[in-house]
Amino acid sequence: MAKVIFENTKEEFSLPDGSSIIKPCEKVGINFACGYEGICGSCLIEIVEGMENLNKPTQAEEDFFGEIENKRLACQCKILKNTVKIKF
């Protein structure tokens, strides 16, 4: 099981390895304005710890950001293993 920790709210969620992080993000109030398409930026998050535990950035994220080290679009993230700490 993997774990997502939200630094802002101190909430923690356990997820099966390989899961999308959309549901826990919705539970803490992160907005997904474009229907999880990765084009609006409403679900922009900062990865405080554990970037290596997420899937690689998608083409949608690369198109949106270019090269930014610790930012991701939550709608495009899957937690592969271990723990990821997020700030939003």
Q: Where are the alpha helices (DSSP H) in 1-88?
A: 22-27, 59-65
pTM: 0.93
Per-domain boundaries in the chain: 2-87
Closest CA to 60 of 51, 71, 49, 73: 73
- Residue 38 falls in which region: left (phi positive, over 0), alpha (psi -120 to 50) or beta: left
Q: Can you identify the CATH homologous superfamily of domain 2-87?
A: Beta-grasp domain (3.10.20.30)
How do the pLDDT tens digits run along the chain, 88 residues long?
999 999 999 999 999 999 999 999 999 999 999 999 999 999 999 999 999 999 999 999 999 888 778 999 999 999 999 999 999 9
Say what the pLDDT of residue 23 is: 97
Q: Which residues pair with 21 in a beta bridge?
A: none
Residues 6+ apart with CB under 8 A from 33: 40, 42, 43
For residues 45 and 79, is the Cβ–Cβ distance under 8 A? no
Two structure tokens written together for 12: 């923690």
Say what the pLDDT of residue 65 is: 86
